[in-house]
Structure 1
């Protein structure tokens, strides 16, 4: 029987750390596998900002990675990965390449530049600080790390949107755990996958109620023009199951089913939705891919919902981004 866990760090071999910038809403999150983890990735959004994703294709030779970076700051935020590499190198983690050691750190970014001074964005020092904060304790959720500047429901204009964030969840079946951590900065609404009810997203013109973007679009309401790449949901699925690189890639692929249950619309031309998968193998067992992919999709959906439910409302000048629960 499945057991629902609260944290991705219940996956053996996984640590998570946040860096949140106090100068404006932005930050980064690292998911560390110091001993190395078999990895895969699936990029579904049409406007991604990523690093080292080609390396994870099953036909390419690197099998294991040592960390994943999730960052705000759009493409600028990819710089934080160099700080993650430096920290891992100092800890003796990495792939041996001749006389050198090379930590492998893929990453993905989301767009949070409209909130405050866009010249402030995660850099190498931010990535290093996130690593210093990493542990096996349950990481904070909501407006922290990569979720600090996340915003959801921008289809009908930024002023009618709501605050996004970062969340995580895990599921254990027969001694194998699959967890996910999701930074939700989606163009679309976040919905309860069990009821279909909108939790956070675009608001009505007066800002007092949830609009339900899916129904609004289907009745012909015109969306506002959206800058490509100005959204994006990014995350990591982790398991202690024993997987091959091909299987890890499939775990990432089916994890997007969980995003589709919890975000509507998802994978749009203005999103860069990207999911990584890590398999530490620490349980020394597997359940078979049918069960594992079901767990992965469920964990991603739960983590997405937790991301917005944990978020706090934000006021910046005339802009007000309420949190889930502030608007019905």
Structure 2
């Protein structure tokens, strides 16, 4: 069973060939653009009892019906060659990553360390441009480029350069209203200040950065229709405190941070609170991470 790039027509064809006992069969996919463009391409080849299929990137899947008199199983008791040296095809020159065979990921880096002419590692776009993702933004490879995943940060934008923040005066608050899906549909004017939610609080995953010189101070309060609630605050001792009430007939539970850090010292702090049913965890990192984008990165994002 082999998978190779055809040398015909400027390397635009991928061929999946196999022999199950009654002669070789092939499934081919033709690309509209050359595949030797030094960009990432993804191939998925599958053979089962019914058919053999091949997909290249997002192109339609090509399929070949399996022969009726062929073997059901391939006896994979020989060797697996990656790179084309076992066939008459020209050897592959490039980078291969995320190789899986029957659901098993093959560790190409470990084997590359002991194979002459093969080097471990597969430099991608993130190796060259990943530093452009600011403020804990995570660089994610794409077939033709990369993008910055800002979901774990308090920023947005192409390079996670735009801060999502607000400055509060004492006694002020921003309010969001939990709405059922049908209410959002019927009343579109409520969308900017409404969040989809169910009617009960089963769990929360809250993370935020803040700085204040005042205590006590309420950071966040969320409640349900059944008077369940969770409150995150800085108490009069400048420590983090989480209060939550999950059942109407029980008193509120109080969870206090064991950290000796003063959270009302005017410095930037980061906290993460996770609750699933009756299990609550609080994390207060030693330092709140914050990285400024350079003027070049910000201007590039705006452009």
**TM-score strictly above 0.5:** no
TM-score of the pair, normalised by structure 2: 0.19
Q: Which has the higher helix share?
A: 1
TM-score by length of 1: 0.18
Q: Which has the higher contact order (CA 8 A, sep 6+)?
A: 1
Greater share of residues in strand = 2
| Greater Rg by CA | 2
